[in-house]
Amino acid sequence: MNESGAQLARVQALTPDDPERVGGFSLRGRIGSGGMGQVYLAYTPGGRAVK
């Protein structure tokens, strides 16, 4: 598995409590969560992945 495949394997599905969008970003999954909040995998309107 290449590096991006390994990273995507760690992404969990969004829960019903997670937003689908934040600003102009479309959320696709949850990378992690903890005492300071959640980290999401998101995509720009142009299709670029950001986290």
The bridge status of strand 21-22 relative to strand 37-43 is unpaired
- Binding-site positions read 51
Beta-carbon count within 10 A of 27 CB: 16
- Binding-site positions for ATP read 51
Asked if 29 and 12 count as a contact pair (C-beta separation under 8 A), the reply is yes
